[in-house]
Chain A
Amino acid sequence: MVAVSQTTPFAGHGIEAAGPKPRQLTLPRFGVYVFLFVAALFFLLPVYVMIVTSLKPLAEIRETNVLMPPMAPTLAAWWEAWNSACTGLKCDGVKVGFLNSVKIVVPTVILSVLIGSLNGYVMSFWRFKGANLLFATLMFGAFLPIQVVLYPIVRLWSAMGLFGSLPGIILIHVIFGMPIVTLMYRNFYAALPIEIFKAARVDGAGFWRIFGHVFLPMSGPITVVVVIWQVTGVWNDYIMGLTFGGLSNSPMTVQLNNIVGSQTGERFFNVEMAATMLTALVPLVVYMVSGRWFVRGITAGAVKG
């Protein structure tokens, strides 16, 4: 297993001074820039289209085209999307889904951090019989598509009275997040010098004390990665929310898809795109603010070997 810290992408970024000296703009280098620039346009285009559409009145959307910037930008569609867009019969806007998503994400992330760090701690320092088997099973769980176990879980959750409730959807997120979060903490702890653990043992500290007073306070960096990973992952989830959220706990993604899907007859493209942008906003802001921590998460969760 490679430690999380070793899988940091872009490591070494910022030390370009060691590389060759800046080159002149030759033809091949010009080609490099042209390609990168065109690629950047491709990646930016759909979001640009969403934003300009959300800022136009409906009539302007019909008359002009998707790439044309708005003549008189207005936030009316954003306001409508947030406050009064309709899903089926209810017209309360995506703010309902936003609140539901917050209610799901916050407890899920807190529980994931607590359980994942504890698991990682046990797996790194307190080897027990069957630890390898447990870890292998967890990793298998990390790659298991939810559909493969969905029917039994729905039956179980119904039997326990959890189906369609907020605790029910939080629990399913915590369980399905557990493998990767455990992996991240395990790799982080395993890369720490074992002497720290030994010293604490020699000092007579017990299991919980070592965890609470030694390792948990040291877990800041990996916890940031885990929080970013879980916030974006749970926020972006659709299938769990659709299945386990029920009518009253639908997260924002589910509500968004209902808003767009439920429109029969005239479609309010500007409101649809404003609602889509609003749903994208939380993970986008997390991504922009966290930058390399986000990258660490997506690669740390993946890179094993």
Chain B
Amino acid sequence: MRHLSAKIAIAPTVLVTLIVFVGCLVWTFAISFTSTRGVPVFDFVGLAKYQELWASSRWQTSFKNMFIFGAGFISLSLILGMLLAVLIDQQVRAENAFRTIFLYPHALSYIVTGLAWQWFLNPQLGLQKFVQDLGWSDFTFRVLVDRNVAIYAIIAAAVWHSAGLVMAIMLAGLRGVDDEIWKATKVEGIPRWRAYIWIILPMLGPAMTTCIMLLAFGVIRNYDLVVAMTNGGPGTATEVPAKFVMEYLFERQNAGLASAAATIMLLSVVAVGAPVWYLQSWRNRRRIAGRG
């Protein structure tokens, strides 16, 4: 048998991958069709748990919040991150300092981020009091206790955490742009800002796709930040799917329902990942064909 050592070396990884990333996934899917609460029960109840899920107003809020949070978080992170990357690309002084400052929140955990922002936005002593102390005594800024806008406060904190990541990836792309292209735009007399919008940024499509994908997976996973900032409140205004699963798995002991919700999370990941994967393999095929 050739390469026996190699096979032995990779065997644990194969085993763990099969058990954890495939087996457990199938297991969760199977559990979502049972009435399991704590200990697994294998009674087939059809789509009952999915019906229970979509009938739950808590889930409806969670699911809706995933889209509100996702739309705000992804678009703002992209815009701010790209803008910062383009501005830093203008041969500015103290470039290193700016880069370090824009990216450092990404090194912090979501728990730390959430706790920092919940204090910063504290309804009594936070930002509101600062503005009131400036003399504007009627000023109210109680985002965290207002159920209509609390989710936007979470978006702000998340953008603060992730815009630097977009900047880093886009800046890497900008630095990779061929100098000839810049020279060509100069010869053509295209203003610099126009060149960015119409020529350079479209060239960075793959980098942008990466950013969007990373941010989107972050949206589906979003859990710690909500726990630290609002813990889902006020009421259930800032509940999200990842938190719903945790809640029904451990506190409410309804694993069947949690598994149904987890399956929806999985479908969301596939919905984000599949088009990107398809696009990439299409690009790769085209690149190979172009070379041949």
Contact = CB atoms under 8 A, between A and B. Distances in A.
Given A43-B160, A276-B116, A238 B175 contact: no
Interface stretch (B45-53, B83-91, B143-151): B83-91
A283 B7 contact: no
A33 B101 contact: no
A236 B25 contact: no
Contacts of B269: 143-145, 148
> Could you say which interface size class chain B belongs to?
35 or more
Contact of A298 (B27, B106, B207, B246): B106
Contacts of B6: 122, 126, 128, 207
Contacts of A118: 9-10
Contacts of B125: 61-62, 65-66, 269
Nearest to B266: A148
B88 A36 contact: yes
B20 to A, nearest CB: 6
A102 to B, nearest CB: 15
A36 B129 CA distance: 27
A49 B109 contact: no
B199 interface: no
Interface string A111-146: 000010011001100101000001001101101111
A238 B109 contact: yes
Contacts of B102: 39-40, 43
B237 interface: no
A110 interface: no
A249 B160 CA distance: 30
Interface string A215-258: 00000000000000000100111110001000000000100110
A178 interface: yes
The interface size bin for chain A is 35 or more
B127 A137 contact: no
Nearest to B228: A257
Interface in A268-294: 269, 272-273, 276, 279-280, 283-284, 286-288, 291, 294
B42 interface: no
Interface stretch (A15-23, A69-77, A83-91): A15-23
Contacts of A39: 80, 84, 102
Interface stretch (A150-158, A162-170, A192-200): A150-158
A66 B100 contact: no
B61 interface: no
B232 interface: no
Given A152-B23, A284-B104, A49 B266 contact: no
A19 B91 contact: yes
What 3 pairs between A and B have smallest CB-CB spacing?
A9-B172, A236-B109, A207-B5
7 contacts: A9-B169, A46-B117, A66-B126, A149-B20, A153-B20, A238-B224, A253-B112
Interface of B: 3, 5-7, 9-10, 12-14, 16-25, 27-28, 31, 40, 80, 83-84, 87-88, 90-92, 95, 98-113, 115-117, 119-120, 122, 125-127, 129-130, 132-133, 160, 164-165, 168-169, 171-172, 175-176, 179, 206-207, 210, 214, 217, 220-221, 223-224, 227-228, 231, 242, 245-246, 249-250, 255, 258-259, 262-263, 265-266, 269, 273, 280, 283-284
